[in-house]
Amino acid sequence: MWTNAIKKIIVFSLVLVLQGSWMTPAMAVDALPALPAIVRACQDTFPAFKNAQPFTLPAARRLTTPAQFKIFLEQFQNQYHSYMQCIFDGAVQEILGSSGANSSGYWAANTPNIPQWLVPDVACISSQKLKAATENTGTDVLLPSTLKAYYAYSAFLAQFYKTYQENLTLSRAEDASAFLQQAKNAVVNELQDSLSALSSTFSQFTELREVFVMHVQFQCMLHNLEEYRVFLGKIRSIVLLLPARIIDASKLK
Amino acid sequence: MKKILLLIIALSALTFAKPALANEEFNNDLSGRGPGATESPRDQDTSFCGPNHPIHQFSLYTRAYCGAIATDNDSDVFQAVAAQFDLENTTLIKKIINGEPLKPDELTNPLRARYNLPQQINAFSVTPLIADVLAAYEKEKVIDRMKKNFKQEFASSEQWYNAALSDSPMDLLVDLNLIDVMLFGSQAQWNNDVYHFPGSTGGEAPSSPVIPGNGRESNPDPRLRGDDNSTGTTNTPPFNHATDCVPPDSPDAIPPSPGEIPRACGNNVLDRGEQCDDGNRVSGDGCGNTCRLEDVGTILCRDPEAITFRDFKPAPPASGGGTAGGGGSTSASEPAASDSSSECPAGTRPRQGLAHDVQRQGLPQSPHYPGPFVGGVLKNIALTIPPPCPPDESPIQIQYANSTSSTCVPTKWCANPDDVKSLMDKVRKAVLGAAWADNTDTKKIGDSIEAIFCVNVTTANRPESPYSLNEGCVDCQIRSMVTTLDKLLQYQIAPMENTRNAFGISNRWGPQFSFDLNLSMPSNPEIKFNEKVDALKQADAALNKIEQDRVHGSDPNTDINQPDSVRDTSVSNLTAEFTDFNQKQDEQAFTALRAYRANTDAAKEQDFSQDLIGLLNAWQQSFSNIQNVFLGLTDTLKFDQLRQCQ
């Protein structure tokens, strides 16, 4: 009876010990004191990544096969990139939504219709509002959070690979070597691709912000030019009543 | 105690070795999948870039990551590395990169010779080869990734700057095109980032722009002809003389437009009732034989008086000498039936409320006129299908105010830069006057216009990198546009000058007419300045003489040769006098205008003033709005960066 109890206590203790040793605090994206709103809105999409702590479980020790490695890696990729996608999609929505137009349906996949989120009437938004939208989504705002997530991801994958390296059990040594090399390639590629994607996204996003501001202003200018043109036409229709020979007021001597 | 320790060790060993906690539990705990998920883990591709994870149009990150991802798309990299080692396929390269052991028969002879490999290889002998392959792989991977990134960024650039309709709701080139049209008339057209000038300065007749939906094109597709309401085009019913024409005194008749009845057509004076008078009664030169403005298509609109403020409309098929199909020009010898009354028999007028009345309410102008787009509607054709264009033309799309139009523009004009330059000179003279280069202000504007027009950025010329030619050119286009707008608004000359040209180019207005209200601009200030200079020179000479006489003891008051007006004045008084003179002249002119108008039967003075002044105020307000938007442009964050580009 008591031996069973002791056994349970010992197992529990071992689990706790193992938990402590496998904890990867870098994996958890702890909340910054003042996270940007866009990043804060994405925290809910990240619980799996933040709380996964996969190796705290007894099953973590069973990361012994290439198939398991692939499944795990894919899962972590999904978590991390979904989080990043959430941040940047939120930023794009923040930019485009600043026009005040309803952007619902805007995110519908493969939508055949162009969303009318920028008709000239609503395009004339104040430059302050535009400025706020662009500043809230600036690189300086988003970069710290995204970089922090990337470094967490990077450290986590390194730890993940190390676990795999230690646990991989195969009958042939040369197979183990090849599998480890492939796993290493996969992790390295993933990290390089992630960083590259981050850089590329920031470049594209900067361009989007710039173009959006100009587009809004151009649309607004077109709106006013249209007004100008309409009045001009009306004036002309009235002035047509005037006789052919008019004394040029500005050239009289 | 020993037993307990042994028990602990044994239990620990059991825990680690317990095979019952296999994959199923492992995945249940971590991935959230149900039991059995690992039995077929790849039966459904749930990877981030897999087919079950759609990449949204504006999801920049997803597009960037999945575009750059190298894990499954390294074939290009493998190929590049294999080529460096003279290998026909990538099998060996993949094995080396994946860390798989090599077999002797997998090594080609050239490779053996290159690395001096023995017949029986071992891990040590192939180390240099593996190191070289890995190094080449790393290098090619970096290059490949950079290339993909550039492509991504360039695609993004294209998406925002020059989007296909389905790509993006915003397209800066379309915006600029529309602003160009507003400012400079329909002369300005973009096509694939190339600035085009419809119309010709030569004798040949280029294909005129086809405006789908207005009936000019001869495409058999009813959607492209505008017969189909689903395309959003105007569907004009056929004109029926029997029912649509009524006596002119009928209440149903369209009221006569001002100056409809010509009295002395052909006397080179625009009399009341004439829309134009070019001194002849010949049709086809833009001013018809009844002194009505006529639409003569695109090529013959060279006579300034022929500027028509009417929209393109289809020339009648049997109108005479010209052809009117397939986007070609309309008849050159016969007047096109652009006037509504000409469609009714003599002595009758079109009945009100006809569909074509609506169509003609606008006041579009000739597409050849390099002035502001004064009236009418922009090419408001909601057409998602590009128009069929002749060989020398290309379709462009214009998106504006919830509608999209398409049209064809000639593509040959940018082939020869001299053509553009020559045309540009004409445009500048028309817009800014012949002496545009002599005046500092107009010269600045003229130069800016040239900066806009002299563009030749073709898609083919663009490099893949968005950081070199493409971005520079497109950005500089925007910058030029902004600069020009700046100048336009700063001097407030161009809108008025353009307006003056648009209105005053016809003798109905006189070449230098201005409204002489608050909106009027000083006309030809250099002339007044010359007058002032002459006067000041006289005054200086007179004062010098007085001074000399005073020094030499002469009494200026006794100098009978000195004019009284000069003798008692000073330079400042003289300047003030001239300023006052100008104001008086302006007032005099305005008074004369009022008197003239009061004595005419054009309209009651009060109504006229109310209408006109109200409109002018609204017009001025709309111009202020433009200025405000422009100030907003310069105020935004990104335009600070734009300025750095200058």
DSSP string, B27-95: HHHHT-PPTTGGGSTTSS--STTSTTS---TT-HHHHHHHHH--SS-THHHHHHHHHHTT-SSSHHHHH
Q: Which member of B64, B272, B374 has the closest CB to residue A200?
A: B64
Q: Residue B135: enclosing H or E segment and its boundaries? A: helix B127-161
| Chain A interface disruption, residue of B65, B137, B307, most A CBs within 10 A | B65
Alpha carbon of A157: minimum distance to chain B alpha carbons (Å): 15
Listing DSSP states for chain A in one string gives: -HHHHHHHHHHHHHHHHHHHHH--GGGS-PPPTT--HHHHTTGGG-HHHHH--GGGSGGGGG--SHHHHHHHHHHHHHHHHHHHHHHHHHHHHHHHHTT-S--TTTT-TT-SSPP----HHHH---HHHHHHHHHHT-HHHHHHHHHHHHHHHHHHHHHHHHHHHHH---S-HHHHHHHHHHHHHHHHHHHHHHHHHHHHHHHHHHHHHHHHHHHHHHHHHHHHHHHHHHHHHHHHHHHTTS-S----TTT--
Residue A35 confidence class, pLDDT cut points 50, 70, 90: confident
Mind listing the pLDDT tens digit for each residue in A110-123?
333 333 334 434 45
Asked, for residue A1, whether it belongs to a domain, the answer is: no
Tell me which of B5, B27, B30, B623 to substitute to probe the interface with A (most A C-beta atoms closer than 10 Å): B30
Of A6, A193, A231, Cβ closest to residue B65: A193
* CB contact set of A63 (below 8 Å; sequence gap of 6+): A55, A69, A72, A163, A164, A167, B26
Higher pLDDT, B389 or A178: A178
Cα–Cα distance list, B121 to A53, A125, B128, B132, B144 (Å): 45, 72, 12, 17, 32
Determine which of B629, B633, B645 to mutate to test the interface with A (most A C-beta atoms within 10 Å).
B629
Instruction: Flag if B362 and A233 touch (Cβ within 8 Å).
Output: yes
Q: C-alpha dihedral over B411, B416, B421, B423, to 10 degrees?
A: -50
> pLDDT tens digits for A64-97?
788 888 888 888 888 888 888 888 888 887 777 6
Query: From the CA of B547, how many Å to the nearest CA of chain A?
Result: 32
DSSP B470: I
For residue A179, tell me if it sits in a domain. Answer: yes
Q: Per-residue pLDDT tens for B65-99?
A: 887 774 455 778 888 888 888 888 888 888 888 88
Provide the pLDDT confidence category of residue B467 given band limits of 50, 70 and 90. Answer: very low
Domain count, chain A: 1
- Under the banding of pLDDT at 50, 70 and 90, the label for residue B427 is low
Contact A200 B48 (CB under 8 A): no
Chain A residues whose beta carbon lies within 8 Å of the beta carbon of residue B635? 127, 131
Q: Is the residue at A108 inside a domain? A: no
pLDDT of B356 higher than 50: no
ipTM of the prediction greater than 0.95, yes or no: no
Q: What is the pLDDT of residues B588-631, one digit of tens each?
A: 555 655 665 555 544 455 566 666 667 777 767 777 777 676 66
Neighbours of B396 (CB within 10 A): 23
CB-based contact, A173 to chain B, within 8 Å: no
Q: According to the model, what pLDDT value does residue B376 have?
A: 32
**Contact check, Cβ <8 Å, A210/B641:** yes
Size of interface A-B (CB pairs under 8 A): 359
Domain, as residue range, for A232: 37-44+63-100+117-239
Q: Does A5 touch chain B (CB under 8 A)?
A: no
CB distance B46–A222 less than 8 Å? no
Which pLDDT score, from 0 to 100, does residue A93 have? 78
Q: Are B175 and A189 within 8 A, CB to CB?
A: no
Q: For residue A25, tell me if it sits in a domain.
A: no
Is B373:B186 a contact under the CB 8 Å cutoff? Answer: yes
Is A159 a residue whose pLDDT tops 60? yes
Residue A137 domain-assigned? yes
Q: What is the pLDDT of residue A207?
A: 78
Within a domain: A29: no
- The confidence score (pLDDT) of residue A176 equals 77
What pLDDT score was predicted for residue B189? Answer: 44
Local confidence band at B295 (pLDDT 50, 70, 90 cut-offs): very low
Q: Which range is least confidently modeled, A19-28, A196-205, B138-147? A: A19-28
pLDDT of residue B25: 33
* Structural domain contains residue A12: no
- 3-state class (DSSP) for residue B541: helix
Chain B CB within 8 Å of residue A39 CB? no
Of B22, B99, B521, the CB nearest to A178: B99
**Among A102, A195, A242, A111, which residue's Cα sits nearest to residue B515?**
A242
* Residue A82 within a domain: yes
Average pLDDT of chain B to the nearest whole number: 51
Backbone angles phi, psi at A170, to 5 degrees: -135, 160
Q: What is the pLDDT of residue B635?
A: 56
CA-based nearest residue to B266, from B255, B277, B276: B277
Cβ contact A229–B7 (<8 Å):
no
What value does the mean pLDDT of chain A take? 67
Is A12 near chain B, with CB under 8 Å? no
The pLDDT value given to residue B10: 44
Percent over 70 (pLDDT), chain B: 19
Tokens of B268: 């080179």
Mean pLDDT of B466-471: 28
Mean pLDDT, residues B183-207? 38
Taking the CA of residue A34 and the nearest CA in chain B, the distance in Å comes to: 23
A199 touches chain B (CB under 8 A): yes
pLDDT at residue B534 in the model: 59
Tens of pLDDT along A217-239?
777 777 777 677 677 666 666 65
Question: pLDDT band at B302, cuts 50/70/90?
Answer: very low
Nearest to A249 among B270, B516, B608 (CB): B516
Contact B396, B406 (CB under 8 A): yes
What average pLDDT does the segment B558-564 reach? 41
Contact A221 B179 (CB under 8 A): yes
Q: Which among A14, A51, A36 is positioned nearest to B32, based on CA atoms? A: A51
Q: Does A120 touch chain B (CB under 8 A)?
A: yes
